[in-house]
Amino acid sequence: MKNFEIAKILYHIALYLEIEGEQFKPRAYEKAARSIEALTEDVSEIYKRGGIRALMEIPGVGESIATKIEEMILTGKLKYYEQLKEKIPVDIENLSAIEGIGPKTIKTLYQKLKIKTVEDLEKAAKERRIRKLKGFGEKSEEDILRAIEFFKRSKGRFILGYVLPLLRDIEERLRKLPEVKKVNIAGSTRRMKETIGDADFLVVSDKPEKVMDFFVHMPEVSHVYGKGSTKTMVKLKNGLDADVRVIPEKSYGAALQYFTGSKDHNITLRRIAIEKSWKLSEYGVFDKNGKYLFGKTEEEVYEGLGLKWIPPELRENTGEIEAAMKNKLPKLIDYNSLKGDLQIQTKWTDGTNSIKEMAEEAKKLGLEYIAITDHTKSLAFTGGLDEKKLLEQKKEIEKVNKELEGIIILSGAEVNILKDGKLDISDKILSQLDVVGASVHSHFNLSKTEQTNRIIKAMENENVDILFHPTGRQLQVREPYEVDIEKIIQVAKDTGTVLEINAFPDRLDLKDEHIKKAVEIGAKLIINSDSHNKHQIHYLEFGIAQARRGWAEAKDIVNTRKLNEFLKMLKH
């Protein structure tokens, strides 16, 4: 079993246990699932290496969960899970993905109305049967129908950060085949889009049959749509479609360019070829007599057309082609160029690892500093810290700093912005912390003006250094709250508040166009992982990708700087 399959079952168990009214167990399963999802090593490999003991080193995995993982690895199934499913036989995954439908509601809907699926739910809402339940009304039905619409729109796409490890694994296995000369993932994956519709592999090989045979027999394939000598299409067990194309070597650059897209980018590029009386296709660039000119590498294609090579993250036809013509492309922030991670949660609240464990892992990944930013008291369900606890934690951080070398831990907090824009921690305490991030975790439904003013008020607080996840969106979970983001970006610039690019795969908040706006007006940006366990720190990569898609350079991102320089860029 693959990591995503194991993680999925643990998530489902958490939901079932919550339905049953369990207090702490659901969080335990969820934490274990989150760790496993973030692992870059296969759980089955970990098990092979060190058995149950090794499994228990995964953050959040204790003996009971480790035993269950063992059963899944050895038998491909889990009895405990099968039993839970029998008791409440509903499509828990999709139902719980509908915003506003929690485990309690799922139970009520099943028991009172026999609702098992999203289709059942939609039908019941349309037939006005839900309003008859206690605690529900006409408005709940409207909300449910709206949430179902959002669900349907995002369904069928996959969050890049959660599927990329699997795709890279497949890429590596293809690369190891003796018959394969070159391999690349193209499409939206190469452009590092937030979500992808399907995965597109490109290969150069003299023995396409061998490559295709290998591809359709990979253990993650659940269905083969079609197998040919140049193109094969399959469905993977996680539901994602993947295709592989075998390309002649002399066309590889042109094919890579074509299948990387985006479609709009390609259309503009093709127009440029036509202006030169040439033809651009996935086979190469041809003159008006159909004679092949070039196409072996992507650089050849772009340069042959009179452009600088364009990084895939920019290929959305939003001005990159004009910029490449004038040699005015941004010098994008490099991957691996961050020196700090300034949003990290620990065991002190809803994180799974200790301060020390997070710091050690950050050091391993090459970071020079981190800030511990646990939640604060008004976010009660996370066990948010109050003033006293924050000061205690600051002492603990000082202690750990003395024990560790090669990494500096800053004290901080993720303070809650209250409904009126005030914070839930006093300024007296905040001024004693090294870094303060503020964020919205409640009252998502305020009017645009109220929401905007509330956030502006928080940004005007001289102790607030960073605005965390500025629009509150969660991919495939909820839309951003109504907020005048342009105004927020301007106020960030005016007040010197840094705007976060939250790297967590389902947040990626700010999004690309807003990053571009911030870069244009010179508002400061920061990329943070929002880690809740040590295996999530590498999610920073997706924040960097997001920054690149927003045309950001290293100078625009404050945590590309060394600690001293970084601290000087903060407000307080």
Q: Which of 198, 427, 450, 462 binds ligand DGT (CB under 6 A)?
A: 198
Burial track 190-207 (b if 16+ CB lie within 10 A, e otherwise): bbbbbbbebbbbbbbbee
Q: Give the one entry of ligand DGT, Zn ion, Ca ion, none that residue 312 binds, where binding means its C-beta sits below a cut-off of 5 to 8 angstroms depending on kind.
A: none
Interface with ligand DGT: number of residues (CB under 6 A): 14
Least Cβ distance, residue 312 to Zn ion (angstroms): 30
Q: Which helix (H) or strand (E) segment is 264 a member of?
A: helix 263-275
Which H/E stretch holds residue 244? strand 241-246
* Cα distances (angstroms) measured from residue 240 to each of 167, 199, 243, 530: 10, 8, 10, 26
Q: Binding segment for Zn ion among 86-94, 145-153, 330-338, 437-445 (CB under 5 A)? A: 437-445
Of 198 and 482, which has the nearer Cβ to ligand DGT? 198
Nearer to Ca ion, 189 or 529 (CB): 189
Region class of 83: left (phi > 0), else alpha (psi between -120 and 50), else beta: alpha
Question: What is the arrangement of strands in the sheet containing 435-439, beginning at the earlier edge strand?
Answer: 340-341, 369-372, 408-416, 435-439, 466-467, 498-502, 525-528
Nearest to 251 by CA among 284, 223, 222, 208: 284
**Measured from the CB atom, is 102 or 197 closer to ligand DGT?**
197
> Residue 158 interacts with ligand DGT (CB under 6 A)?
no
- Using CB under 5 A as the binding rule, whether residue 439 contacts Zn ion is answered as yes
Name every residue whose Cβ is closer than 8 Å to that of residue 123 and which is 6 or more positions away in sequence.
Answer: none
Nearest residue to Zn ion on Cβ basis = 439
Q: Does 267 bind ligand DGT (CB under 6 A)?
A: yes
Q: How far is the CB of 550 from Ca ion (least distance, A)?
A: 21
313 sits near ligand DGT (criterion: CB under 6 A): no
Q: Of 259 and 286, which has the nearer Cβ to ligand DGT?
A: 259
Q: Give me 326's structure tokens.
A: 């004038």
Beta strands 292-294; 284-286: pairing state: antiparallel
Do 527 and 510 meet the contact criterion of CB atoms below 8 Å apart?
Answer: no
What is the rounded CA–CA span in Å between residue 246 and residue 308? 27
Choose the contact partner of 481 out of ligand DGT, Ca ion, Zn ion, none; CB within 5 to 8 A by kind.
none
Q: How far is the CB of 193 from Ca ion (least distance, A)?
A: 9
Give yes or no for residue 48 binding ligand DGT (CB under 6 A). no
- The piece of 141-149, 235-243, 282-290, 435-443 that touches Zn ion (CB under 5 A) is 435-443
Q: Phi first, then psi: give them for residue 489, nearest 5 degrees.
A: -65, -40
Asked if omega into 64 is within 30° of 0 (cis), the reply is no
DSSP helix, strand, coil percent of the chain (3-state; round to 5): 50, 15, 35
Q: Which stretch binds Zn ion (CB under 5 A): 109-117, 253-261, 431-439, 498-506?
A: 431-439
Binding site for Ca ion (CB under 5 A): 187-188, 198, 200
**Residue numbers 177-196 binding ligand DGT by CB under 6 A:** 187-188, 193, 196
Q: Letter for the amino acid at 3?
A: N
Out of Ca ion, Zn ion, ligand DGT, none, what residue 267 binds, judged by CB under 5 to 8 A for its kind, is ligand DGT
CB-CB contact of 439 with 416 (8 Å) = yes
Q: Which two tokens stand for residue 243?
A: 């295709």
Q: Which of residues 200-259 bind ligand DGT (CB under 6 A)?
A: 200, 258-259
DSSP state of 156: T
Binding partner of residue 439 among Ca ion, ligand DGT, Zn ion, none, CB cut-off 5 to 8 Å per kind: Zn ion
Return the DSSP state at 531.
B
29 or 259, CB closer to ligand DGT? 259
Instruction: Tell me: does residue 122 bind ligand DGT (CB under 6 A).
Output: no
Region for residue 253 given its phi and psi (left: phi exceeds 0; alpha: psi -120 to 50; beta: otherwise) = alpha
Is 261 one of the binding residues for ligand DGT (CB under 6 A)? yes
- For residue 88 the two structure tokens come to 């409440």
Q: Binding to Zn ion by residue 471, rule CB under 5 A? A: no
With CB under 5 to 8 Å by kind, the binding choice for 263 among Ca ion, ligand DGT, Zn ion, none is ligand DGT
Closer residue to ligand DGT (CB): 271 or 399: 271
Q: Which does 262 bind (CB under 5 to 8 A by kind): Zn ion, ligand DGT, Ca ion, none?
A: ligand DGT
Binding site for Zn ion (CB under 5 A): 439
Binding site for ligand DGT (CB under 6 A): 187-188, 193, 196-198, 200, 258-259, 261-263, 266-267
